[in-house]
C-alpha cells in the first residue's frame, strides 16, 4: 500500500508550484491557472485523508465536491473580470491594471 506521506508530500509540492505561479506570472489568466493548481493540491489532501481515516463518514469527499463548486465559481468570475478588463484597458498584464494604485 501507498503510505499517506506520499500523497501529502505530492500535494504540498503541487501547492508550492501553484503558489509560485500565482506570485510570479504577469498574465492574469496565468495567475488563475496557478490558483487551479493550488485548489487541486487541497483536493488531493482532502480525499487522501478521507481514504486513510474513517471511510464511513463521507466528509472528505463532500468537502472535495464543495471545493469543485467553489473552483468553478472562482474561474467563471475571474475570467469574466479578466475579459472585462481586457475590453476596457486592452491589457491582461496584472502589473498594468493599476488604476486603483496610489
Q: Under the criterion CB under 8 A, does residue 89 sit at the interface with another protein?
A: no
- Cell 468537502 locates to 63
Which whole-number Å values give the CA distances from 41 to 9, 76, 93, in the listed order? 10, 20, 26
Nearer to another protein, 66 or 100 (CB): 66
Site string for another protein, 20-39 (x = CB under 8 A): xx-xxxxx-xx-xxx-xx--
Q: Under the criterion CB under 8 A, does residue 7 sit at the interface with another protein?
A: yes
d(CA 61, CA 85): 36
For residue 70, give the nearest of 93, 38, 30 by alpha carbon.
38
3-state secondary structure of 86: helix
Q: Under the criterion CB under 8 A, does residue 19 sit at the interface with another protein?
A: yes
Report in angstroms how near the CB of residue 45 gets to another protein at its nearest.
10
Site string for another protein, 41-80 (x = CB under 8 A): --xx--xx-xxx--xxxxx-xx-xxx-xxxxxxxxxx-xx
Amino acid at each position: 500500500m501507498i503510505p499517506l506521506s506520499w500523497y501529502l508530500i505530492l500535494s504540498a509540492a503541487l501547492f508550492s508550484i501553484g503558489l509560485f505561479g500565482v506570485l510570479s506570472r504577469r498574465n492574469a489568466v496565468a495567475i488563475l491557472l496557478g490558483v487551479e493548481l493550488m485548489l487541486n493540491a487541497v483536493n488531493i489532501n482532502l480525499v487522501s485523508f478521507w481514504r486513510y481515516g474513517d471511510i464511513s463518514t463521507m466528509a472528505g469527499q463532500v468537502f472535495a465536491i464543495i471545493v469543485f463548486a467553489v473552483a468553478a465559481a472562482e474561474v467563471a468570475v475571474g475570467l469574466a473580470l479578466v475579459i472585462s478588463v481586457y475590453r476596457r484597458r486592452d491589457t491582461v498584464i496584472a502589473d498594468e491594471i493599476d488604476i486603483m494604485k496610489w
